Amino acid sequence: MIQQNFIKLYEESFRKNWELPALTDYKEASSYTYGELAREIAKLHLLFAELEIERGDKISLVGKNHSSWSILFMATITYGAVIVPILQEFNPDSIEHIILHSDSKLVFINNSLWQKMPGKQINVPVFDMPTFSLLKGDEAVETSLKSLEETFSRNYPSGFGKENINYADVPNDDVICLNYTSGTTGFSKGVMITANNFAGNVTYAERLKLLFTGERILAFLPMAHVYGCAFDFLYALSAGVHITLLGVIPTPQNLIKALQEVKPNLIITVPLIFEKIYKKRILPVISKSIVKLLLGVPGINRMILDKIKQSLVKSLGGNFREVIIGGAALNAEVEAFFHKMKFPFTVGYGMTECAPLISYDHHDDFIPTSCGSVLEDIMEARIDSPDPGKIPGEIQVRGENVMKGYYKNPEATAAVFTDDGWLRTGDSGIMKGRRLFIKGRLKTMILTANGQNVYPEEIESKLNNLPYVAESLVVLREFKLVALVYPDMAAVEATQLSVDKLTQVMNENKGILNKLVAQYERISSIELIDKEFEKTPKKSIKRFLYH
Protein backbone atom coordinates (compact mmCIF):
# COMPACT_ATOMS: atom_id res chain seq x y z
CA MET A 1 0.00 0.00 0.00
CA ILE A 2 1.27 3.48 -0.91
CA GLN A 3 1.80 5.49 2.30
CA GLN A 4 0.63 8.81 0.83
CA ASN A 5 -3.17 9.06 1.01
CA PHE A 6 -4.30 9.86 -2.52
CA ILE A 7 -7.20 12.22 -1.71
CA LYS A 8 -5.14 14.19 0.84
CA LEU A 9 -2.67 14.98 -1.97
CA TYR A 10 -5.26 17.38 -3.37
CA GLU A 11 -6.11 19.01 -0.05
CA GLU A 12 -2.41 19.87 0.22
CA SER A 13 -1.95 20.91 -3.42
CA PHE A 14 -5.03 23.15 -3.55
CA ARG A 15 -4.00 24.96 -0.36
CA LYS A 16 -0.37 25.30 -1.35
CA ASN A 17 -1.10 26.49 -4.90
CA TRP A 18 -4.23 28.53 -4.07
CA GLU A 19 -3.41 31.52 -6.28
CA LEU A 20 -1.71 29.66 -9.16
CA PRO A 21 -3.54 28.86 -12.43
CA ALA A 22 -4.94 25.32 -12.45
CA LEU A 23 -7.25 24.86 -15.45
CA THR A 24 -7.70 26.72 -18.72
CA ASP A 25 -9.94 25.77 -21.63
CA TYR A 26 -8.03 26.29 -24.87
CA LYS A 27 -9.65 29.00 -27.01
CA GLU A 28 -12.31 29.64 -24.33
CA ALA A 29 -12.64 32.30 -21.65
CA SER A 30 -12.97 29.82 -18.79
CA SER A 31 -9.97 29.55 -16.49
CA TYR A 32 -9.57 28.60 -12.81
CA THR A 33 -6.92 29.08 -10.19
CA TYR A 34 -6.42 26.30 -7.65
CA GLY A 35 -8.50 28.32 -5.19
CA GLU A 36 -11.33 28.78 -7.68
CA LEU A 37 -11.18 25.07 -8.53
CA ALA A 38 -11.51 24.25 -4.81
CA ARG A 39 -14.57 26.54 -4.53
CA GLU A 40 -16.30 24.86 -7.49
CA ILE A 41 -15.59 21.46 -5.97
CA ALA A 42 -17.11 22.63 -2.66
CA LYS A 43 -20.30 23.71 -4.47
CA LEU A 44 -20.71 20.31 -6.06
CA HIS A 45 -20.14 18.64 -2.69
CA LEU A 46 -23.12 20.58 -1.37
CA LEU A 47 -25.21 19.54 -4.39
CA PHE A 48 -24.26 15.89 -3.88
CA ALA A 49 -25.31 16.14 -0.23
CA GLU A 50 -28.64 17.75 -1.19
CA LEU A 51 -29.24 14.89 -3.64
CA GLU A 52 -28.40 12.35 -0.91
CA ILE A 53 -25.37 10.94 -2.69
CA GLU A 54 -23.53 8.64 -0.31
CA ARG A 55 -19.98 7.47 -0.09
CA GLY A 56 -19.30 4.79 -2.72
CA ASP A 57 -22.18 5.89 -4.98
CA LYS A 58 -21.33 6.04 -8.68
CA ILE A 59 -21.46 9.21 -10.78
CA SER A 60 -21.17 8.95 -14.58
CA LEU A 61 -19.27 11.63 -16.48
CA VAL A 62 -19.46 11.80 -20.28
CA GLY A 63 -17.71 14.48 -22.28
CA LYS A 64 -14.60 15.90 -23.88
CA ASN A 65 -11.64 17.42 -22.03
CA HIS A 66 -12.96 20.56 -20.35
CA SER A 67 -12.64 22.43 -17.06
CA SER A 68 -16.18 21.33 -16.14
CA TRP A 69 -15.14 17.69 -16.69
CA SER A 70 -12.11 18.20 -14.45
CA ILE A 71 -14.14 19.87 -11.70
CA LEU A 72 -16.77 17.13 -11.67
CA PHE A 73 -14.14 14.37 -11.59
CA MET A 74 -12.31 15.93 -8.64
CA ALA A 75 -15.54 16.78 -6.82
CA THR A 76 -16.68 13.17 -7.05
CA ILE A 77 -13.55 11.47 -5.73
CA THR A 78 -12.92 14.06 -2.98
CA TYR A 79 -16.53 13.62 -1.81
CA GLY A 80 -15.95 9.89 -1.40
CA ALA A 81 -18.06 8.82 -4.38
CA VAL A 82 -16.90 6.76 -7.39
CA ILE A 83 -16.39 8.44 -10.76
CA VAL A 84 -17.36 6.64 -13.97
CA PRO A 85 -15.65 8.54 -16.82
CA ILE A 86 -17.12 7.51 -20.18
CA LEU A 87 -15.59 8.32 -23.55
CA GLN A 88 -17.99 10.40 -25.62
CA GLU A 89 -16.74 8.49 -28.68
CA PHE A 90 -18.68 5.42 -27.52
CA ASN A 91 -22.00 5.10 -29.34
CA PRO A 92 -25.15 6.21 -27.45
CA ASP A 93 -26.32 2.65 -26.75
CA SER A 94 -22.95 1.79 -25.24
CA ILE A 95 -22.95 4.91 -23.07
CA GLU A 96 -26.39 4.04 -21.75
CA HIS A 97 -25.29 0.47 -21.09
CA ILE A 98 -22.30 1.66 -19.02
CA ILE A 99 -24.42 4.10 -17.02
CA LEU A 100 -26.84 1.31 -16.16
CA HIS A 101 -24.18 -1.35 -15.58
CA SER A 102 -22.25 0.93 -13.22
CA ASP A 103 -25.36 1.65 -11.08
CA SER A 104 -24.72 5.38 -11.40
CA LYS A 105 -26.85 7.63 -9.19
CA LEU A 106 -26.12 10.81 -11.21
CA VAL A 107 -25.18 11.45 -14.84
CA PHE A 108 -23.31 14.44 -16.28
CA ILE A 109 -23.35 14.56 -20.09
CA ASN A 110 -23.37 17.05 -22.95
CA ASN A 111 -26.96 17.83 -23.99
CA SER A 112 -26.34 17.16 -27.70
CA LEU A 113 -25.10 13.67 -26.84
CA TRP A 114 -27.93 13.11 -24.37
CA GLN A 115 -30.46 13.85 -27.13
CA LYS A 116 -29.00 11.01 -29.22
CA MET A 117 -29.32 8.46 -26.44
CA PRO A 118 -32.26 6.12 -25.96
CA GLY A 119 -32.39 7.36 -22.35
CA LYS A 120 -35.58 5.50 -21.49
CA GLN A 121 -33.94 3.25 -18.90
CA ILE A 122 -31.96 6.01 -17.15
CA ASN A 123 -34.07 7.05 -14.18
CA VAL A 124 -31.59 9.16 -12.23
CA PRO A 125 -30.90 12.93 -12.41
CA VAL A 126 -29.05 13.95 -15.57
CA PHE A 127 -27.10 17.21 -15.85
CA ASP A 128 -25.65 19.02 -18.84
CA MET A 129 -21.92 19.46 -19.33
CA PRO A 130 -20.48 22.07 -19.18
CA THR A 131 -23.36 24.19 -17.83
CA PHE A 132 -24.46 21.80 -15.03
CA SER A 133 -28.09 22.63 -15.91
CA LEU A 134 -30.70 19.91 -15.35
CA LEU A 135 -31.63 17.69 -18.33
CA LYS A 136 -33.70 15.14 -16.43
CA GLY A 137 -34.94 15.16 -12.86
CA ASP A 138 -37.85 16.08 -10.59
CA GLU A 139 -38.72 19.39 -8.93
CA ALA A 140 -36.69 18.60 -5.82
CA VAL A 141 -33.54 18.22 -7.92
CA GLU A 142 -34.35 21.42 -9.81
CA THR A 143 -34.83 23.28 -6.52
CA SER A 144 -31.51 22.00 -5.13
CA LEU A 145 -29.73 23.11 -8.28
CA LYS A 146 -31.33 26.58 -8.36
CA SER A 147 -30.57 27.24 -4.70
CA LEU A 148 -26.96 26.01 -4.89
CA GLU A 149 -25.39 29.48 -4.77
CA GLU A 150 -27.57 30.38 -1.79
CA THR A 151 -26.68 27.10 -0.06
CA PHE A 152 -23.00 27.78 -0.69
CA SER A 153 -23.22 31.30 0.80
CA ARG A 154 -25.08 29.95 3.83
CA ASN A 155 -22.43 27.28 4.44
CA TYR A 156 -19.52 29.67 3.95
CA PRO A 157 -20.77 33.07 5.20
CA SER A 158 -17.23 34.46 5.40
CA GLY A 159 -16.29 33.13 1.97
CA PHE A 160 -14.51 29.92 1.00
CA GLY A 161 -10.83 29.90 1.92
CA LYS A 162 -7.91 27.48 2.11
CA GLU A 163 -8.94 26.49 5.62
CA ASN A 164 -12.30 25.24 4.31
CA ILE A 165 -10.76 22.52 2.16
CA ASN A 166 -11.57 19.31 3.97
CA TYR A 167 -12.08 16.24 1.82
CA ALA A 168 -13.52 12.82 2.60
CA ASP A 169 -11.38 10.34 4.48
CA VAL A 170 -10.96 7.80 1.68
CA PRO A 171 -8.57 4.91 2.44
CA ASN A 172 -6.22 4.09 -0.42
CA ASP A 173 -7.71 0.62 -0.85
CA ASP A 174 -11.15 2.05 -1.71
CA VAL A 175 -12.35 1.96 -5.33
CA ILE A 176 -12.71 5.55 -6.59
CA CYS A 177 -13.04 5.04 -10.35
CA LEU A 178 -14.72 2.62 -12.75
CA ASN A 179 -13.04 2.85 -16.13
CA TYR A 180 -14.75 0.91 -18.91
CA THR A 181 -12.50 -0.62 -21.55
CA SER A 182 -15.38 -0.96 -24.00
CA GLY A 183 -18.98 0.12 -24.20
CA THR A 184 -20.31 -2.90 -26.06
CA THR A 185 -22.81 -5.06 -24.17
CA GLY A 186 -21.17 -8.36 -23.33
CA PHE A 187 -17.68 -6.95 -23.79
CA SER A 188 -17.76 -4.02 -21.37
CA LYS A 189 -15.54 -4.44 -18.35
CA GLY A 190 -15.55 -1.79 -15.64
CA VAL A 191 -12.00 -1.71 -14.29
CA MET A 192 -12.16 -1.04 -10.54
CA ILE A 193 -9.37 1.47 -9.91
CA THR A 194 -8.53 2.17 -6.28
CA ALA A 195 -7.10 5.34 -4.77
CA ASN A 196 -3.93 3.31 -4.22
CA ASN A 197 -3.70 2.48 -7.95
CA PHE A 198 -3.78 6.18 -8.83
CA ALA A 199 -1.46 7.00 -5.91
CA GLY A 200 1.11 4.54 -7.26
CA ASN A 201 1.14 6.33 -10.61
CA VAL A 202 1.04 9.87 -9.26
CA THR A 203 3.66 9.44 -6.53
CA TYR A 204 5.98 7.65 -8.97
CA ALA A 205 5.67 10.55 -11.41
CA GLU A 206 6.44 12.92 -8.52
CA ARG A 207 9.53 10.87 -7.65
CA LEU A 208 10.68 11.22 -11.27
CA LYS A 209 10.11 15.01 -11.09
CA LEU A 210 8.40 15.06 -14.47
CA LEU A 211 6.86 18.45 -13.70
CA PHE A 212 7.34 21.28 -11.22
CA THR A 213 4.98 23.76 -9.54
CA GLY A 214 3.85 26.53 -11.89
CA GLU A 215 4.81 24.67 -15.09
CA ARG A 216 2.46 24.00 -18.01
CA ILE A 217 1.00 20.97 -19.72
CA LEU A 218 -1.41 20.59 -22.66
CA ALA A 219 -4.02 17.86 -22.07
CA PHE A 220 -5.02 16.57 -25.50
CA LEU A 221 -5.38 12.83 -24.84
CA PRO A 222 -8.94 11.94 -23.74
CA MET A 223 -8.96 12.23 -19.94
CA ALA A 224 -11.81 9.71 -19.82
CA HIS A 225 -9.08 7.21 -20.66
CA VAL A 226 -6.82 6.36 -17.73
CA TYR A 227 -3.53 7.29 -19.50
CA GLY A 228 -4.45 10.93 -20.06
CA CYS A 229 -6.33 11.04 -16.76
CA ALA A 230 -3.40 9.87 -14.64
CA PHE A 231 -0.66 12.07 -16.06
CA ASP A 232 -2.14 15.06 -17.91
CA PHE A 233 -4.65 15.59 -15.10
CA LEU A 234 -4.27 13.86 -11.73
CA TYR A 235 -0.48 14.07 -11.51
CA ALA A 236 -0.46 17.61 -12.88
CA LEU A 237 -2.99 18.83 -10.28
CA SER A 238 -1.06 17.19 -7.46
CA ALA A 239 2.08 19.04 -8.58
CA GLY A 240 0.59 22.54 -8.89
CA VAL A 241 0.82 22.53 -12.70
CA HIS A 242 -1.24 24.71 -15.05
CA ILE A 243 -3.33 22.41 -17.29
CA THR A 244 -4.62 23.71 -20.62
CA LEU A 245 -7.41 21.45 -21.90
CA LEU A 246 -7.38 21.21 -25.70
CA GLY A 247 -11.06 20.32 -26.11
CA VAL A 248 -10.87 20.04 -29.92
CA ILE A 249 -9.88 17.11 -32.13
CA PRO A 250 -6.06 16.76 -31.82
CA THR A 251 -5.28 16.77 -35.53
CA PRO A 252 -1.58 17.46 -36.19
CA GLN A 253 -2.52 20.97 -37.32
CA ASN A 254 -4.63 21.75 -34.23
CA LEU A 255 -2.11 20.15 -31.93
CA ILE A 256 0.99 21.88 -33.25
CA LYS A 257 -0.75 25.25 -33.10
CA ALA A 258 -1.80 24.66 -29.50
CA LEU A 259 1.63 23.37 -28.47
CA GLN A 260 3.28 26.48 -29.91
CA GLU A 261 0.90 28.68 -27.93
CA VAL A 262 0.95 26.79 -24.61
CA LYS A 263 4.64 25.78 -24.72
CA PRO A 264 4.23 22.84 -22.31
CA ASN A 265 7.10 21.55 -20.15
CA LEU A 266 6.13 17.91 -20.76
CA ILE A 267 4.25 16.24 -23.63
CA ILE A 268 2.19 13.08 -23.02
CA THR A 269 1.09 11.46 -26.27
CA VAL A 270 0.31 8.29 -28.21
CA PRO A 271 2.33 6.79 -31.10
CA LEU A 272 -0.18 7.77 -33.80
CA ILE A 273 0.61 11.49 -33.42
CA PHE A 274 4.36 11.06 -33.78
CA GLU A 275 4.00 8.56 -36.59
CA LYS A 276 1.94 11.12 -38.53
CA ILE A 277 4.53 13.85 -37.89
CA TYR A 278 7.29 11.53 -39.09
CA LYS A 279 5.42 10.48 -42.23
CA LYS A 280 4.17 13.95 -43.20
CA ARG A 281 7.07 16.20 -42.16
CA ILE A 282 10.26 14.15 -41.81
CA LEU A 283 10.03 11.25 -44.29
CA PRO A 284 9.59 13.51 -47.36
CA VAL A 285 12.82 15.33 -46.40
CA ILE A 286 15.02 12.33 -45.62
CA SER A 287 13.74 10.42 -48.67
CA LYS A 288 15.31 12.94 -51.07
CA SER A 289 18.32 11.50 -52.88
CA ILE A 290 20.72 14.25 -51.83
CA VAL A 291 19.65 14.05 -48.17
CA LYS A 292 19.99 10.25 -48.20
CA LEU A 293 23.51 10.68 -49.56
CA LEU A 294 24.47 13.31 -46.97
CA LEU A 295 23.03 11.23 -44.12
CA GLY A 296 25.63 8.62 -44.99
CA VAL A 297 28.51 11.11 -44.56
CA PRO A 298 29.97 11.23 -41.00
CA GLY A 299 29.82 14.72 -39.50
CA ILE A 300 27.42 16.11 -42.10
CA ASN A 301 24.76 13.55 -41.09
CA ARG A 302 24.88 14.90 -37.52
CA MET A 303 24.34 18.45 -38.77
CA ILE A 304 21.30 17.39 -40.81
CA LEU A 305 19.81 15.39 -37.93
CA ASP A 306 20.35 18.31 -35.53
CA LYS A 307 18.61 20.68 -37.94
CA ILE A 308 15.60 18.35 -38.27
CA LYS A 309 15.49 17.94 -34.48
CA GLN A 310 15.62 21.71 -33.83
CA SER A 311 12.81 22.30 -36.31
CA LEU A 312 10.66 19.62 -34.70
CA VAL A 313 11.32 20.82 -31.16
CA LYS A 314 10.36 24.36 -32.17
CA SER A 315 7.14 23.18 -33.85
CA LEU A 316 6.14 21.40 -30.61
CA GLY A 317 6.49 24.51 -28.49
CA GLY A 318 10.23 24.40 -27.85
CA ASN A 319 9.86 24.26 -24.06
CA PHE A 320 9.49 20.58 -23.18
CA ARG A 321 12.06 18.41 -21.41
CA GLU A 322 10.64 15.12 -22.61
CA VAL A 323 7.96 13.47 -24.73
CA ILE A 324 6.39 10.37 -23.19
CA ILE A 325 4.78 8.01 -25.70
CA GLY A 326 2.39 5.30 -24.50
CA GLY A 327 -0.92 3.60 -25.18
CA ALA A 328 0.41 1.38 -27.99
CA ALA A 329 3.66 0.29 -29.63
CA LEU A 330 5.59 2.94 -31.53
CA ASN A 331 6.45 2.18 -35.16
CA ALA A 332 9.97 0.71 -35.15
CA GLU A 333 11.25 2.83 -38.05
CA VAL A 334 9.94 6.02 -36.46
CA GLU A 335 11.43 5.07 -33.10
CA ALA A 336 14.84 4.30 -34.61
CA PHE A 337 14.98 7.64 -36.43
CA PHE A 338 13.92 9.70 -33.41
CA HIS A 339 16.55 7.92 -31.31
CA LYS A 340 19.22 8.51 -33.96
CA MET A 341 18.19 12.17 -34.00
CA LYS A 342 18.65 12.28 -30.18
CA PHE A 343 15.12 13.60 -29.78
CA PRO A 344 14.13 13.63 -26.05
CA PHE A 345 11.45 10.93 -26.10
CA THR A 346 10.72 7.73 -24.25
CA VAL A 347 8.22 4.91 -24.63
CA GLY A 348 6.34 3.68 -21.56
CA TYR A 349 4.08 0.68 -21.10
CA GLY A 350 0.85 0.22 -19.21
CA MET A 351 -2.79 -0.78 -19.35
CA THR A 352 -6.09 0.43 -17.95
CA GLU A 353 -5.96 -2.37 -15.36
CA CYS A 354 -2.80 -0.76 -13.91
CA ALA A 355 -4.12 2.81 -13.91
CA PRO A 356 -2.04 2.65 -16.21
CA LEU A 357 1.75 2.54 -15.72
CA ILE A 358 3.84 -0.65 -15.61
CA SER A 359 7.23 0.44 -16.99
CA TYR A 360 9.07 3.64 -17.88
CA ASP A 361 12.60 4.95 -18.49
CA HIS A 362 13.74 8.57 -18.61
CA HIS A 363 14.62 9.51 -22.19
CA ASP A 364 18.34 9.53 -21.30
CA ASP A 365 18.06 5.85 -20.34
CA PHE A 366 15.66 4.77 -23.08
CA ILE A 367 16.73 1.85 -25.27
CA PRO A 368 15.04 1.48 -28.69
CA THR A 369 12.51 -1.38 -29.03
CA SER A 370 12.04 -1.43 -25.24
CA CYS A 371 9.14 0.07 -23.31
CA GLY A 372 11.02 1.04 -20.18
CA SER A 373 11.92 -0.59 -16.89
CA VAL A 374 9.34 -2.00 -14.50
CA LEU A 375 8.55 0.66 -11.87
CA GLU A 376 10.90 0.18 -8.96
CA ASP A 377 9.22 -0.41 -5.57
CA ILE A 378 5.81 -0.09 -7.27
CA MET A 379 5.45 -2.96 -9.73
CA GLU A 380 6.87 -6.41 -10.47
CA ALA A 381 6.82 -8.30 -13.77
CA ARG A 382 7.57 -11.78 -14.99
CA ILE A 383 7.53 -13.52 -18.38
CA ASP A 384 5.64 -16.79 -18.76
CA SER A 385 8.43 -18.41 -20.75
CA PRO A 386 11.16 -21.03 -20.24
CA ASP A 387 13.77 -18.36 -21.09
CA PRO A 388 12.31 -14.88 -20.23
CA GLY A 389 15.29 -13.02 -21.67
CA LYS A 390 15.13 -14.67 -25.08
CA ILE A 391 11.88 -16.54 -25.66
CA PRO A 392 8.73 -14.36 -25.70
CA GLY A 393 5.96 -15.20 -23.29
CA GLU A 394 3.05 -13.44 -21.66
CA ILE A 395 3.99 -10.44 -19.54
CA GLN A 396 2.42 -10.84 -16.09
CA VAL A 397 2.51 -8.14 -13.39
CA ARG A 398 1.61 -7.44 -9.80
CA GLY A 399 2.00 -4.48 -7.48
CA GLU A 400 0.51 -1.22 -6.26
CA ASN A 401 -1.00 -0.19 -9.60
CA VAL A 402 -2.94 -3.39 -10.28
CA MET A 403 -6.74 -2.99 -10.24
CA LYS A 404 -9.09 -4.61 -7.75
CA GLY A 405 -10.96 -6.45 -10.53
CA TYR A 406 -13.80 -5.94 -12.99
CA TYR A 407 -17.04 -4.49 -11.62
CA LYS A 408 -19.80 -7.11 -11.28
CA ASN A 409 -17.79 -9.52 -13.42
CA PRO A 410 -16.15 -12.19 -11.21
CA GLU A 411 -15.65 -14.53 -14.20
CA ALA A 412 -13.58 -11.98 -16.13
CA THR A 413 -11.70 -11.05 -12.96
CA ALA A 414 -10.80 -14.68 -12.27
CA ALA A 415 -9.71 -15.19 -15.87
CA VAL A 416 -7.34 -12.22 -15.92
CA PHE A 417 -5.40 -13.29 -12.80
CA THR A 418 -3.15 -16.33 -12.47
CA ASP A 419 -3.68 -18.80 -9.62
CA ASP A 420 -0.84 -17.14 -7.69
CA GLY A 421 -2.22 -13.62 -8.13
CA TRP A 422 -0.38 -12.10 -11.12
CA LEU A 423 -2.28 -10.01 -13.66
CA ARG A 424 -2.19 -11.42 -17.20
CA THR A 425 -1.48 -8.46 -19.51
CA GLY A 426 -2.25 -10.35 -22.73
CA ASP A 427 0.99 -8.94 -24.17
CA SER A 428 3.89 -11.07 -25.32
CA GLY A 429 7.44 -9.98 -24.60
CA ILE A 430 10.82 -10.62 -23.06
CA MET A 431 12.51 -9.00 -20.06
CA LYS A 432 16.20 -8.21 -19.60
CA GLY A 433 16.87 -7.20 -16.02
CA ARG A 434 13.86 -4.97 -15.27
CA ARG A 435 13.53 -3.70 -18.87
CA LEU A 436 10.59 -4.94 -20.95
CA PHE A 437 10.55 -5.56 -24.70
CA ILE A 438 7.09 -6.18 -26.15
CA LYS A 439 6.61 -8.43 -29.16
CA GLY A 440 2.87 -7.99 -29.61
CA ARG A 441 -0.54 -8.93 -28.32
CA LEU A 442 -1.01 -12.64 -27.64
CA LYS A 443 -4.50 -12.44 -29.14
CA THR A 444 -3.20 -10.90 -32.36
CA MET A 445 -0.34 -13.35 -32.82
CA ILE A 446 -0.82 -15.39 -36.00
CA LEU A 447 0.27 -19.03 -36.14
CA THR A 448 1.14 -19.81 -39.75
CA ALA A 449 0.79 -23.18 -41.48
CA ASN A 450 4.51 -23.89 -41.00
CA GLY A 451 4.21 -23.34 -37.24
CA GLN A 452 5.85 -19.89 -37.13
CA ASN A 453 4.57 -17.23 -34.72
CA VAL A 454 3.90 -14.01 -36.62
CA TYR A 455 3.33 -10.69 -34.82
CA PRO A 456 1.32 -8.65 -37.36
CA GLU A 457 2.18 -5.33 -35.67
CA GLU A 458 5.82 -5.74 -36.72
CA ILE A 459 4.84 -6.17 -40.39
CA GLU A 460 2.30 -3.33 -40.24
CA SER A 461 4.85 -0.91 -38.80
CA LYS A 462 7.00 -1.37 -41.92
CA LEU A 463 4.07 -1.26 -44.35
CA ASN A 464 2.68 1.94 -42.82
CA ASN A 465 5.81 3.86 -43.85
CA LEU A 466 5.48 2.97 -47.54
CA PRO A 467 3.94 5.33 -50.14
CA TYR A 468 0.20 6.03 -50.00
CA VAL A 469 -0.41 3.81 -46.95
CA ALA A 470 -2.36 5.54 -44.18
CA GLU A 471 -2.88 2.45 -42.02
CA SER A 472 -2.84 -1.31 -42.41
CA LEU A 473 -3.87 -4.59 -40.85
CA VAL A 474 -2.31 -8.00 -41.52
CA VAL A 475 -4.67 -10.98 -41.33
CA LEU A 476 -4.50 -14.70 -42.14
CA ARG A 477 -6.70 -15.93 -45.00
CA GLU A 478 -6.57 -19.49 -46.34
CA PHE A 479 -3.19 -19.99 -44.63
CA LYS A 480 -1.74 -16.88 -46.32
CA LEU A 481 -0.92 -13.45 -44.88
CA VAL A 482 -2.95 -10.64 -46.43
CA ALA A 483 -2.49 -6.91 -45.77
CA LEU A 484 -5.62 -4.76 -45.63
CA VAL A 485 -4.66 -1.16 -46.44
CA TYR A 486 -6.56 2.10 -46.05
CA PRO A 487 -4.81 4.49 -48.49
CA ASP A 488 -3.55 7.96 -47.61
CA MET A 489 -6.43 9.70 -49.38
CA ALA A 490 -4.98 13.18 -48.93
CA ALA A 491 -1.84 12.09 -50.81
CA VAL A 492 -3.89 10.26 -53.44
CA GLU A 493 -5.99 13.37 -54.11
CA ALA A 494 -3.01 15.72 -54.05
CA THR A 495 -1.22 13.69 -56.73
CA GLN A 496 -4.44 12.85 -58.61
CA LEU A 497 -3.52 9.17 -58.51
CA SER A 498 -5.85 6.90 -60.49
CA VAL A 499 -7.21 3.65 -59.07
CA ASP A 500 -5.08 1.63 -61.48
CA LYS A 501 -1.95 3.57 -60.54
CA LEU A 502 -2.72 3.18 -56.81
CA THR A 503 -3.07 -0.58 -57.29
CA GLN A 504 0.28 -0.60 -59.07
CA VAL A 505 1.90 1.33 -56.20
CA MET A 506 0.52 -1.17 -53.71
CA ASN A 507 1.98 -4.06 -55.70
CA GLU A 508 5.34 -2.26 -55.58
CA ASN A 509 4.85 -1.76 -51.83
CA LYS A 510 4.27 -5.49 -51.44
CA GLY A 511 7.58 -6.22 -53.10
CA ILE A 512 9.43 -3.69 -50.96
CA LEU A 513 7.80 -4.97 -47.78
CA ASN A 514 8.57 -8.62 -48.49
CA LYS A 515 12.28 -7.77 -48.75
CA LEU A 516 12.16 -6.16 -45.30
CA VAL A 517 10.58 -9.06 -43.41
CA ALA A 518 11.41 -12.69 -42.72
CA GLN A 519 10.32 -15.23 -45.32
CA TYR A 520 7.50 -16.53 -43.12
CA GLU A 521 6.25 -12.93 -42.61
CA ARG A 522 5.85 -12.16 -46.32
CA ILE A 523 2.37 -11.13 -47.45
CA SER A 524 0.62 -12.69 -50.42
CA SER A 525 -1.42 -9.64 -51.39
CA ILE A 526 -2.58 -6.13 -50.45
CA GLU A 527 -6.29 -5.40 -50.39
CA LEU A 528 -7.47 -1.79 -50.39
CA ILE A 529 -10.36 -0.80 -48.12
CA ASP A 530 -12.49 2.29 -48.65
CA LYS A 531 -12.74 3.65 -45.11
CA GLU A 532 -10.60 3.96 -42.00
CA PHE A 533 -10.41 1.00 -39.65
CA GLU A 534 -12.63 1.19 -36.59
CA LYS A 535 -10.57 1.97 -33.51
CA THR A 536 -10.56 1.70 -29.73
CA PRO A 537 -10.29 4.79 -27.46
CA LYS A 538 -6.49 4.32 -27.54
CA LYS A 539 -6.66 4.55 -31.36
CA SER A 540 -5.75 0.90 -31.79
CA ILE A 541 -7.53 -0.90 -34.63
CA LYS A 542 -10.38 -3.19 -33.54
CA ARG A 543 -8.80 -6.27 -35.07
CA PHE A 544 -11.67 -8.58 -34.20
CA LEU A 545 -13.85 -6.81 -36.79
CA TYR A 546 -11.56 -7.77 -39.67
CA HIS A 547 -10.76 -11.21 -41.00
Domain limits of the chain?
A: 6-194, 266-318+321-441, 446-545
| 213-241 confidence digits (pLDDT tens) | 999 999 999 999 999 999 999 999 999 99
Backbone φ, ψ for residue 250 (5° rounding): -80, 60
pLDDT of residue 185: 46
Measured CA to CA, the distance from residue 70 to residue 19 in angstroms comes to 18
pTM: 0.84
Please list the helix, strand and coil fractions of the chain in percent, rounded to the nearest 5, in that order: 40, 25, 40
Write out pLDDT tens, residues 297-319.
999 999 999 999 999 999 999 99
Which residues in 225-256 are b (16+ Cβ under 10 Å) and which e?
bbbbbbbbbbbbbbbbbbbbbbbeebeeeebb
Domains 6-194 and 266-318+321-441 share a fold: yes
**pLDDT tops 60 at residue 24:** yes
Sorting pLDDT into bands at 50, 70 and 90, what band is 186?
Answer: low
Task: Tell me the pLDDT tens digit for each residue of 194-208.
Answer: 999 999 999 999 999
Q: Residue 467's pLDDT band (boundaries 50, 70, 90)?
A: very high
The class level of CATH for 6-194 reads: alpha beta
Given a cut of 70, whether residue 187 has pLDDT beyond it is: no
Alpha carbon distance 34, 160 (integer Å): 12
Task: Determine the pLDDT at residue 273.
Answer: 85
- CATH number for the region 266-318+321-441 comes to 3.40.50.12780
Mean pLDDT, the chain, rounded, equals 93
Q: Which fold has domain 446-545?
A: GMP Synthetase; Chain A, domain 3 (3.30.300)
Of the listed ranges 171-180, 359-368, 393-402, 516-525, the one predicted with least confidence? 516-525
